[in-house]
Amino acid sequence: MGGFYVKSAFKINEKNMKIFLTIFFICISFTGYIYSIKPITYSAKGFFKYIEPDGQTKITKTDVNGIITYESFTPGDGGLYIPSLIKKDSLKLSLNNGNGIYTITAKAFDSTTPINEVNNFLSELLKINTSFLNDKLLSIEEEEKKIKIYNLIKNPMISFPLIIEADKVEIVDKRYLIIFYGFILSFFISLTISILKERIDEV
């Protein structure tokens, strides 16, 4: 298919070459317009580790020399379902099983919103978890479990031993793809129309 376009391009006469260049210029101008109005996206990240009331499962593999070759953390039971706390499309959550750390990412078209959204989420985590544990405490009858939940309420950092707030934004600028694909499409659209015009002239 590409060979056909290349061969046909060399056969375009001067008249239709002007058509090609005119259409190509229009398409490139449109591409430049799309590029200019496409806003830059800003991104910010925060991190936290959540230990559920029943703990978490850690799997460690070692080689014959005792060197750790693999580690993974699986959340336990009886705690918050962290993914359900994401209420905004601009927030994304991921879990690194290798270290059991969650990454919370926010994206926006201005440089201040991502940091605010990430840090607001992290600050709300402690409040949501405390409320969750208080409700859980009401349904527990076994005294030993009650004491455990009460200690978690009294010491929130047991549940969240690691919280790293967002302190900087990164620019996520993929507008170069607009130029790249715009140039390719402009070339093929212009060439296709020119070839069709050439064929019509030959009939």
Lowest mean pLDDT among 107-111, 168-172, 177-181: 177-181
Give 92-128 pLDDT, tens digit per residue: 999 888 788 999 999 998 888 999 999 999 999 999 9
Residue 3 pLDDT more than 60? no
Residue 10 pLDDT more than 60? no
Report the 3 state secondary structure along the chain: CHHHHHHHHHHCCHHHHHHHHHHHHHHHHHHHHHHHHCCCEEEEEEEEECCCCCCEEEEEEECCCCCEEEEEEEECCCCCCHHHHCCCCCEEEEEECCCCEEEEEEEECCCCHHHHHHHHHHHHHHHHHHHHHHHHHHCCCCHHHHHHHHHHHHCHHHHCCEEECCCCCEEECCCHHHHHHHHHHHHHHHHHHHHHHHHHHHC
Give 134-145 pLDDT, tens digit per residue: 988 888 888 888
pTM for the whole thing? 0.67
Residue 41 pLDDT more than 80? yes
